[in-house]
Structure 1
């Protein structure tokens, strides 16, 4: 297994580099971990942060692979459902007919997980037990258990005979396998089987100190060395080695001694990653939207909570649209329709939803009143309005003063005047946004997922002009379908917020954006990559 301290980080600080590859590759004989766009603030020389990001990206790639393999089973595949498997990678076409290549194999991890899937613990931990085979050389020892039949015939249905076993007086191969598996599953945030955990603990008690771990910055190298010695001892004292033994041994050896497919790199020295990360970014954002918003229309066919979300193919593409919503997104010329597809449209509030935020969206539960300060908990009432809740909590955290806050948004000794100030601010912000709805039917927000960094939106570019034009076409099409409506457009870009997984993000200051973006009322939102990724992984 490779050491995370040896990974060189590429934060894409050179904005001229437009390559959208994310993953690990060789660069000047070094292992380089290329981060997503918007990760300029990712910490340097932080073992735990790098490790956490790697394993979350590993899970993200595996979910993306699994979802797209499921989509490829459609009878009439379209867009990214066309998948071609190529060795340790697979190729498909996205919705814009671009090729996307996912390098999904890391053998040091895959081999171990595959062995666990192939071999059940109760199979590889065989013990001496009953056997239906009869050893006639020992039949005199079993006459007392025999059944006597007529004509002096005796009948034996079983004997206690030794079975082949992978069991040793010292650390067993199974214990070693389970220890590595348990450590790996912990980093992948997966639940472990109770027997795996018990066997892993047994090996640790016999051979390692309490604080030793495979994925600890201080103990990584010593732990790997000890495990290699254990594997070598087991191999030396094992006389009988069957197929199960070698499958476990090879998986463990690959993990302890392996690197990153050093002899099997792909183009440009790539070991693992994806060539066009924007496709995963779009799927992540769509998953977050389906978990939090009231979706009217979405140009996606993601797998959300095990099911395909697309429910309409009348345009020739797999899209989602709310029941009763007539798709207005097309350009018509001489009775011919050309369909256009915004990423996502969601409805925020209607006439019947104009209510006080702190009665219907956010609940403040007072735990203790200290006079000038309060202990209280902030809870989300309406899960469809989570963005309001997270924004309010972020404002409270930025103005703690002498108070403190927990990860579950419980605040201690918070000043009462400051709390009222923040409540008024949030009321004013959202009332100013939604007040016109008293005269209209609904507010619709266009969300366009952009895998770009902020520099892209600060000056004139042909692609920016094209993005603006497309967004205005979407707005016009919806206005013609729903004349009495308010429409807003937002470009959603990835951003790494160091040390914060709670807030969903914030809008970029409009004054710094390219003039045409401002003039057309389009806003740019820096979305918390970690928060969106967490939702994506938790709605498998």
Structure 2
């Protein structure tokens, strides 16, 4: 196992300026040291804080596991798609139909060997069998062992060792399980999953630590070298002392051996140790997960997405995309030349219907409460305005009109009438009138989003790649205009979304807009990677 605290962290301008999209751990071919390559736009990451590095490493481990699990699930559901996952001894290779890239994912075998070997039944079985051995002593034959006894001052005898009549696994197997449980518990703690560890496993792990380590011993942290050294010595002792090694023994022994001695892939000439070769795929999946699984309001506005996980529409080339059939009914993103269609794949397109948007805003801004005084039967109308949303479209005039209706009605009716039903009917009517008037003033809006895994500095100067990306955005817009006809009352907004590391708690921190994008009506949107990562892990299949 490598010491995470000794990794060389690669981030900042030198990392952002290169076109290398690998994220993970690799060995430097010159220095032979292990390097932790962070994602792009991580120049503000605290690289001198060893704890933060360790926390981020395990979050990245979980992030990549979520991505692989999602891709494997999608691959099983869509057996006819060309997208594929190839399993190898080193990890996985994921191919995409519409991109030339192949995503290479290298497993971190040391950790995965421990997690994948976890078997509650085998652990319980070995511990229970050895507990039986310690407590099943045949006292009827104690006279045969008097010669081995130690006579104590109170005239009692003490026999240190007495063979059991049960033929079961050697006690060294129990020690092996204890060491496995200790390593497993340490890993789960770093993954912020300590609460998932069973109580008996925690007890076994604590027993091993108490008997062989110190209270400050840890696999991850300052005591790494000392702890790993003791674990290696203990494993060697178990190997030498165990005469009978069954399948259960080798299950845990091999896992621990891989954890302690495994380091890198001997057949990998690139030097990549663990991670993904092209991080853009993970970044896109993180953004799609937020849009479809986390933000319910945002999902309602999505009409198209190049998202295999949520796809519901198969194109003629067998590629699957997501289409909101209530709005689009069919795929509109293609170019046709000489009878042949060439499909376009915007990452996401949102449609903001002014009527629906006004209705949603109204519900957020206004809350009607009808209170009746039991003594006087007087009705009070309370309309709460949510100041956090901030809007001047709903004024006191609206409240005054409601009150005027109530006053007129009260003058004609006795105190016993159903004022509350009348008020609610008036409220609904006034609300719809207000929503309609607002909707007429607003335009239909399309937001065309492209998830970009680029450094922000990438947009400081013009180049062929940027020009092609800009052209594609406006071709997407042209496809919508051809379909949507109502061009005079329609606005088109374009967004490039890039990841950033920031200590801010804002999901979309502000950034200076590059001139080359501003000229093309494209907004550069920075997305807080840490927040999106937390949501991705929380909603992932892991």
TM-score w.r.t. structure 2 length?
0.71
Unaligned stretches of 5+ in structure 1? Answer: 131-137, 139-159, 303-308, 364-380, 390-434
| Partner in structure 1 of residue 497 of structure 2 | 492
Aligned length: 431
Q: Distance in 1 between matches of 2:100 and 2:291?
A: 24
Q: Cα distance, 1:265 vs. partner? A: 4.7
| Partner in structure 2 of residue 142 of structure 1 | none
Contact 2:358 2:438 in 1 (8 A): no
The answer to which structure has the higher strand fraction is 1
| Partner in structure 2 of residue 10 of structure 1 | 10
Helix, strand or coil for the counterpart of 1:331?
Answer: strand
Q: Distance in 2 between matches of 1:518 and 1:329?
A: 24
Q: Cα distance, 1:461 vs. partner? A: 0.9
Contact 2:304 2:323 in 1 (8 A): yes
Contact 2:130 2:171 in 1 (8 A): no
Q: Cα distance, 1:103 vs. partner? A: 3.2
Instruction: Evaluate the alpha carbon distance shift between residue 237 and residue 488 of structure 1 in structure 2; reply closer, same or farther with a 3 A threshold.
Output: same
Counterpart check, 1:256 vs 2:260? yes
Q: Distance in 1 between matches of 2:259 and 2:450?
A: 41
Q: Cα distance, 1:193 vs. partner? A: 2.6
What's the CA shift string for 1:21-61, capped at 9, x where partnerless?
A: 12211112111111111112222222112112211222222
Which of these two proteins has the greater Rg computed from alpha carbons?
2
What's the CA shift string for 1:438-472, capped at 9, x where partnerless?
A: 43464332210001011111221111111111111
| Partner in structure 2 of residue 320 of structure 1 | 322
Structure-to-structure mapping, 1:252-401, within 5 angstroms: 252-258=256-262, 260-261=263-264, 264-290=266-292, 291-292=294-295, 293-294=298-299, 295-302=302-309, 309-316=310-317, 317-324=319-326, 325-326=328-329, 327-333=331-337, 336-348=340-352, 350-354=354-358, 360=364
| Partner in structure 1 of residue 425 of structure 2 | none
Helix, strand or coil for the counterpart of 2:114?
Answer: helix
Instruction: Evaluate the alpha carbon distance shift between residue 241 and residue 352 of structure 1 in structure 2; reply closer, same or farther with a 3 A threshold.
Output: closer
Contact 1:89 1:103 in 2 (8 A): yes
Q: Cα distance, 1:18 vs. partner? A: 0.6
Q: Cα distance, 1:518 vs. partner? A: 0.9
What's the CA shift string for 1:124-164, capped at 9, x where partnerless?
A: 3242799xxxxxxx9xxxxxxxxxxxxxxxxxxxxx97252
Instruction: Evaluate the alpha carbon distance shift between residue 45 and residue 163 of structure 1 in structure 2; reply closer, same or farther with a 3 A threshold.
Output: farther
Instruction: Evaluate the alpha carbon distance shift between residue 117 and residue 485 of structure 1 in structure 2; reply closer, same or farther with a 3 A threshold.
Output: farther
Helix, strand or coil for the counterpart of 1:172?
Answer: helix
Q: Distance in 2 between matches of 1:462 and 1:313?
A: 31
Q: Distance in 2 between matches of 1:22 and 1:42?
A: 15
Contact 2:17 2:455 in 1 (8 A): no
| Partner in structure 1 of residue 33 of structure 2 | 30
Q: Cα distance, 1:344 vs. partner? A: 0.5
Instruction: Evaluate the alpha carbon distance shift between residue 196 and residue 174 of structure 1 in structure 2; reply closer, same or farther with a 3 A threshold.
Output: same
| Partner in structure 2 of residue 181 of structure 1 | 184
| Partner in structure 1 of residue 95 of structure 2 | 93
Instruction: Evaluate the alpha carbon distance shift between residue 441 and residue 95 of structure 1 in structure 2; reply closer, same or farther with a 3 A threshold.
Output: farther
| Partner in structure 1 of residue 378 of structure 2 | none
Q: Distance in 1 between matches of 2:179 and 2:212?
A: 10
Helix, strand or coil for the counterpart of 2:447?
Answer: strand
Contact 2:25 2:273 in 1 (8 A): yes
Contact 2:352 2:446 in 1 (8 A): yes
Q: Distance in 2 between matches of 1:522 and 1:310?
A: 26
Instruction: Evaluate the alpha carbon distance shift between residue 439 and residue 357 of structure 1 in structure 2; reply closer, same or farther with a 3 A threshold.
Output: closer
Q: Distance in 1 between matches of 2:478 and 2:449?
A: 15
Instruction: Evaluate the alpha carbon distance shift between residue 124 and residue 283 of structure 1 in structure 2; reply closer, same or farther with a 3 A threshold.
Output: same
Structure-to-structure mapping, 1:237-248, within 5 angstroms: 237-248=241-252
RMSD: 3.4
Counterpart check, 1:71 vs 2:78? no
Q: Cα distance, 1:16 vs. partner? A: 4.1
Instruction: Evaluate the alpha carbon distance shift between residue 128 and residue 223 of structure 1 in structure 2; reply closer, same or farther with a 3 A threshold.
Output: closer
Deviates more, 1:440-449 or 1:272-281: 440-449
Instruction: Evaluate the alpha carbon distance shift between residue 230 and residue 128 of structure 1 in structure 2; reply closer, same or farther with a 3 A threshold.
Output: closer
1 or 2 for the larger relative contact order (CA 8 Å, sep ≥6)? 2
Helix, strand or coil for the counterpart of 2:313?
Answer: coil
Helix, strand or coil for the counterpart of 1:225?
Answer: helix
